[in-house]
Structure 1
Amino acid sequence: MTAPASEGGGRAARRVQGTYYTLMLGNTLAASFIWGINTLFLLDAGLTNLEAFAANAFFSLGMFVFEIPTGVVADTLGRRASYLLGTITLAVTTALYWLLWVWQSPFWAWAVVSVLLGLGFTFFSGAVDAWLVDALQATGYRGSLETVFGRAVIVGNVAMLGGSVLGGVVAQLTNLGVPFLIRAGILVVMFVVAAILMHDLGFTPERGAGPLAATRNVFRASVRYGLGNRPVRWLMLTTPFTMGVGIYAFYALQPYLLELWGDEDAYSVAGLAAALLSGAGIIGGFLAPHVRRRFRRRTSVILLAAISSALGLVALAVTANFWVAVAMIAVWGIASSIDDPVHRAYLNDMIPSKQRATVLSFDSLLGSAGGAAIQPVLGRAADLGGYGFSLLWSGVLQAFAVPFVLLSRAERDPADTRRDVAGDGDGDGAGRAGDEPAADSAVPPAAT
């Protein structure tokens, strides 16, 4: 029987989990202050729909470009150093975003700063989850990864619920720029918190190689243990569709709900989209380990979630009723949140410890590539046919992930049926039940 997280490895393992949940709480609270009003903020700055979602696409492009180089930072300076660099970079670039809004800057300036925002998030991607899993392994944790990730989803969505609602209310009472300043301030606080609580456990940075050689080694490891491992490859190829669609739909829901509500200045209603998804995320994070126990294979849960998400988006697109739309947003959010812990546990169980941060970063890189390609296309669809039309195509693109889940399932990797934390993998998914594997995202679903 799977040991509860609280019994999985004693006080040290609980301390590691507590630190991880604290980082998740602070990061998501900071980010979510602008999630509910980000699209309205960009449109208020004078950008068109195409330019607003293109700015988000440049964020994804920044993550794509910097993912591997910042992975080198995590592997050579340490995961803690990577996290600290990420908080400072995001605090500075968030302040720059506010200045662009004040100055009503041209699109090229938004594109440049969006790329730098992407740089900030790449310091988090891979590094935070790899830090968690290696630290759990070092402290003797013997529980289910789905349990840890499910709780992280709950914590993150509680923070998202509070942050998104407060962000919308603050914008309503002041202006659309103040939530960005609050976000920058929280990030500075998180820098101090991480400097005190976060320490690299179970991982020794590999120093000595020059930056070019280290980058080359990281890229080779990404290919070998990521795309070169068939079940990992197919699972990773779902990411461009799920992340690209997820980021677009998250931001498109803000103006779409205002459109259905009938008042384009009701910023608190726009924040409701993020609040709905956070509430759905809390439910999904709670249900994930329970749903996992109902299925022998992890890919069954992932497949069910992918199909439900696609159908939810299509139903959302064709409704003209505000409250029906609210229900469909909840369906989409719950399905995505059930998928997240299971997907991450399955992926981490197939990756060796030394390549964990590398492959997770490469997975994030593929998601960023999908976001960079899909968001402008769907943004243009919104300009031509409205937000409902673009959400319809979002559902279609989401469905493209299904064949790749089936291909990963067909490989019959042992990780597909594993339930407890596995040991250090050997690159082909083999591991010993009861030993240990890994953990993201702290990188939120939304870009900027």
Structure 2
Amino acid sequence: MHPLSLWLVYRGTWGFVGTLSWTTAAVYFLRDVGMSPLQLVLAGTALEIAYFLFEVPTGVVADTYSRKASVVVGTLLSGLAMVGIGALPDVGWVVAGMGLWGFAWTFRSGAEDAWLGDELGPHRLGAAYQRGAQVARVTGLLGIGAAVALALVDLRLPFVAAGCTAVALAFVLVGVMHEHGFTRPERDATTTVVRDALATARGGAGLVRRTPILLLVVGIFLCTGAFEEGFDRLWEAQLLLEVGLPELGPLGDVAWFGILAAATLVLSFAVAGPLVRRVEAFDNARLARLLLVLHGVLMLCALGFALAGSQSLAVAAYLATSVVRNLTGPTFQTWLNGTITDSSVRATVLSITSVAGSAGEWAGGPALGLVGTRWSVRAALATGALLLAPTLLLFARAVRHHGIEPELAGSATDADTDTDADTATTDTADSDAAGEVGTPR
């Protein structure tokens, strides 16, 4: 199968799986499993711990052994984790399942983007990410409908069905996924697998250190990670406890969450449509400017959601925030992947930057939780929105240097023996690259 066609199928399947598993998850955790707020936090913590510990090691696996194998393993383990969470409505099993899911996600994170970059090349990544996101929005609507229908029968069924779909996808990938653009590093007789993996990890970390734009990306990930952790954990509490939602008869909360998820995807599809072809042709400089604008709008929308005093304003602000986040993801990943020209460490570098996002969640999530406990959910959400302010400064810096910081990258490279960063300076001005629907995070 052609890489672009496979990518669209892959993203479409995960769009379906993501909304199928998570649209009614909060209701399942609270009603059937009987989880307390502390236990909900512990489940999220288990996922984040697994993600934080294994993200870079599994990225190294993708760079030293196989992107395809890493993606297949991650997809299979994700499916098994979902089935376990749905089939065993027990707090301990849910926490364990979330930990397994976080571990599984590390195999996919970085590896799928690295595979796509190798197979398509940098100049076609923007189109792949934008079109993949649109396909995922359409299939996500189908997942929402399936989740609500199954949840009305049994709240466990959406997780079980999503897990079975992911397992089936893993077996499909075994047969149709190829990696012609990836060459496994050669090892001589004296080089062990572990030594080779460590060398790859050092190479990826070194590329991040000596490429200023990637250091800037790490800072952006820290800030956005803190914001996203607070928003993702507290938006439901804001609507249910602070603002309140109208009654919908016997359907109740399940229907409301389904409506909001569907509205987000429909609006995202409609807004993204006119932008897709334009963004496909953007170089790194224009992508950086677009990201600066999107993050500014995101901060304002998130503040509006936190401060909204009526149901209509809160719902409108939530939808606006979610739509902007949907638009930001593929654009940011296109820009990020376009800064990496050394394919041999691509997955490792992407994993390192993702770990920065996880660190932001670790640091920002508990802090925002304390703000919410001490003062209010509104205060916590508003504080989280303000954490996006530093990203505006970082993107403004990138814009001043045309999205690639050429002078700094060049001076950093002079101190090294290879020319990877010099290549990045000249090549990434025309590059593009990845995003995701359905991550448990």
- If the length of structure 2 is used for normalisation, what is the TM-score? 0.84
TM superposition shift of 1:160: 2.3
Q: Write out aligned runs for 1:325-344 (5 A).
A: 325-344=314-333
Q: CA RMSD in A?
A: 2.9
Alignment partners' CA distance in 2, 1:381 and 1:41: 27
CA contact (8 A) 1:130 1:438 kept: no
| Between structures 1 and 2, the one with greater helix share | 2
Q: 1:248/1:98 Cα in 2 relative to 1: closer, same or farther (>3 Å)?
A: farther
Alignment partners' CA distance in 2, 1:39 and 1:351: 38
| 2:162 matched residue in structure 1 | 183
TM superposition shift of 1:96: 2.4
Asked if 1:34 is matched to 2:21, the reply is yes
Q: 1:214/1:233 Cα in 2 relative to 1: closer, same or farther (>3 Å)?
A: same
Alignment partners' CA distance in 2, 1:245 and 1:311: 13
| 1:3 matched residue in structure 2 | none
DSSP 3-state at the match of 1:237: helix
Match for 1:217: what amino acid? A
CA contact (8 A) 1:36 1:254 kept: no
Q: 1:110/1:185 Cα in 2 relative to 1: closer, same or farther (>3 Å)?
A: closer
DSSP 3-state at the match of 2:435: coil
Q: 1:445/1:184 Cα in 2 relative to 1: closer, same or farther (>3 Å)?
A: closer
Q: Write out aligned runs for 1:249-260 (5 A).
A: 249-259=231-241, 260=244
TM superposition shift of 1:192: 2.0
| 1:318 matched residue in structure 2 | 307
Match for 1:198: what amino acid? M
TM superposition shift of 1:33: 1.1
Alignment partners' CA distance in 2, 1:334 and 1:303: 16
Identical pairs, percent: 23
Match for 2:7: what amino acid? Y
Alignment partners' CA distance in 2, 1:56 and 1:440: 24
- If the length of structure 1 is used for normalisation, what is the TM-score? 0.83
Alignment partners' CA distance in 2, 1:415 and 1:190: 40
DSSP 3-state at the match of 1:402: helix
DSSP 3-state at the match of 2:289: helix
| Greater mean deviation of Cα atoms: 212-221 or 352-361 | 212-221
| 2:153 matched residue in structure 1 | 174
Structure 1 unpaired stretches of 5+: 1-11, 417-424
| 2:257 matched residue in structure 1 | 270
CA contact (8 A) 1:240 1:366 kept: yes
Match for 1:202: what amino acid? G
Alignment partners' CA distance in 1, 2:111 and 2:12: 17
TM superposition shift of 1:154: 1.0
Q: Deviations over 1:225-259 (max 9, x none)?
A: 22431112112321132234335424533444344
CA contact (8 A) 1:253 1:273 kept: no
Alignment partners' CA distance in 2, 1:112 and 1:285: 37
Q: Deviations over 1:106-138 (max 9, x none)?
A: 5xx54443222111011111111111111113x
Match for 2:30: what amino acid? L
TM superposition shift of 1:381: 4.1
TM superposition shift of 1:211: 4.6
| 1:246 matched residue in structure 2 | 228
TM superposition shift of 1:66: 0.6
Match for 2:354: what amino acid? S
TM superposition shift of 1:320: 3.1
DSSP 3-state at the match of 1:46: coil
Alignment partners' CA distance in 2, 1:363 and 1:288: 26
Asked if 1:360 is matched to 2:366, the reply is no
